[in-house]
């Protein structure tokens, strides 16, 4: 039963305030929020609302988070899946899963459908190896058919995440499909500070800790993604617990940063 895979998250708690930085991206998705909250206004004006957006950027930069926050702000269900979920051995299975997904989305509209790793099915049709190509094409075609089939009264927004926007089939970007492209980059110093501020809120910090802790930590973490920063904060708390400390102290963050750098280095070794 493939339908079970697409259980939506109905009471999405994530809001824009949980997403640090990414001001431009938030502004872009705000239009979807407004549309989902009040589609009639757009219909009355005869406006064709964009159907979807591609969120592209390196891993862990908050693509899924901002998609989810869009659902949270609009107060609509969030259907999340990954392009690789559709990738099957047998031709036709992926396409029928896409059909199931959109059938459910239509029944539960207004809603947001998020397809992570869209490149797994949306690679340019001329690229890629032979094996599995038919299956990928039929899955991609079904996705295009579904998006083309939206009528003005289908209040569904499709967001897709990828770190390989360069390989995507240009058919995906045509008007009425993913007509918006939102680029999300790794955070700079100020962005990292803001992300630290979001994640530090969850910790029990030492009362004597550096007043500008997030500023200090942001200078120690060049090249870190938002996911790396969330990881540092959690690691710091775990380290404090391991050391039987009452509060999280600067030293716990320093140890956590070293650990996370170790993890990042290992990952990049595997990739290279
Ligand atoms: P992937 O490409 O690997 O799917 P992604 O870009 O979708 O990654 P997310 O899953 O959104 O990344 O981010 C992972 C976690 O990192 C989030 O759940 C959040 O805890 C943290 N994070 C990332 N970016 C931000 C941000 N801008 N503000 C706050 N937290 C963030």
65 alpha carbon – ligand 1 mean position (Å): 5
**Which residue ranges have their beta carbon within 6 Å of ligand 1?**
19-22, 59-65, 116, 161, 163, 195, 198, 226-227, 230
**Which of 230, 235, 237 to mutate for ligand 1's pocket (most ligand atoms within 8 Å of CB)?**
230
Tens of each residue's pLDDT in the chain, 272 residues: 444 467 788 889 999 999 999 999 999 999 999 999 998 888 888 887 778 999 999 999 999 999 999 999 999 999 998 888 877 666 678 888 899 999 999 999 899 999 999 988 888 766 555 555 777 888 888 999 998 888 777 899 999 999 998 888 888 888 888 989 999 999 999 999 999 999 999 999 999 999 999 999 999 999 999 999 999 999 999 999 999 999 999 999 999 999 999 887 777 766 55
Cα 226 to Cα 219: distance, rounded to the nearest angstrom: 14
| Integer Rg of the chain from CA | 21
Q: Which atom of ligand 1 is nearest to the CA of 22?
A: 27
**pLDDT per residue as tens digits for the range 118-130:** 988 888 766 555 5
Report pLDDT for 90. 67
Q: For residues 101 and 81, is the Cβ–Cβ distance under 8 A?
A: yes
Query: Which residue, by CA, sits nearest to atom 21 of ligand 1?
Result: 227
- Residue-wise pLDDT for 141-198, tens only, equals 899 999 888 877 789 999 999 999 888 888 888 888 898 999 999 999 999 999 999 9
Angstrom distance (rounded) from CA 122 to CA 182:
17
Q: What's the 184 CA to ligand 1 centre distance in angstroms?
A: 11
Cα(29) to ligand 1 centroid in Å equals: 16
CB 66 within 8 A of CB 25: yes
Q: What is the distance, to the nearest Å, from the Cα of residue 177 to the centroid of all Cα atoms in its chain?
A: 18
Instruction: Give the per-residue SS3 of 198-220.
Output: HHHCCCCECCCCCCCHHHHHHHC
Quote the ligand 1 centre to 74 CA distance (angstroms): 20
ipTM value, please give it: 0.97
Q: Could you give the maximum distance between any two Cα atoms of the chain, in Å?
A: 62
Contact predicate 176/148, CB 8 Å: yes
């Amino acid at each position: 039963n493939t339908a079970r895979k697409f259980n939506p998250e109905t009471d999405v708690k994530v809001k824009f305030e949980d997403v640090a930085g990414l001001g431009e991206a938030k502004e872009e998705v705000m239009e979807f929020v407004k549309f989902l909250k009040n589609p009639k206004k757009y219909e009355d004006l005869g406006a064709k609302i964009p159907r979807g957006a591609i969120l592209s950027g390196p891993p862990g930069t908050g693509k899924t988070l901002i998609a989810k926050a869009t659902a949270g702000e609009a107060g609509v269900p969030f259907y999340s899946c990954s392009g690789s979920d559709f990738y099957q051995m047998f031709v036709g299975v992926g396409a029928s899963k896409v059909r199931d997904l959109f059938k459910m989305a239509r029944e539960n509209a207004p809603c947001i459908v998020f397809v992570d790793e869209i490149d797994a099915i949306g690679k340019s049709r001329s690229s890629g190896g032979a094996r599995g190509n038919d299956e990928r094409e039929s899955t991609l075609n079904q996705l295009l058919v579904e998006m083309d089939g939206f009528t003005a009264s289908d209040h569904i927004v499709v967001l897709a995440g990828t770190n390989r926007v360069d390989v995507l089939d240009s058919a995906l970007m045509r008007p009425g499909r993913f007509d918006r492209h939102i680029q999300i980059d790794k955070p700079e110093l100020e962005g990292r500070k803001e992300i630290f501020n979001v994640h530090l809120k969850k910790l029990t910090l030492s009362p004597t800790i550096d007043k500008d802790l997030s500023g200090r930590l942001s200078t120690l973490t060049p090249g870190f993604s938002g996911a790396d920063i969330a990881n540092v904060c959690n690691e710091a708390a775990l380290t404090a617990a391991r050391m039987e400390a009452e509060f999280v102290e600067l030293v716990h963050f320093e140890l956590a940063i070293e650990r996370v750098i170790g993890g990042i280095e290992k990952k990049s070794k595997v990739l290279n």
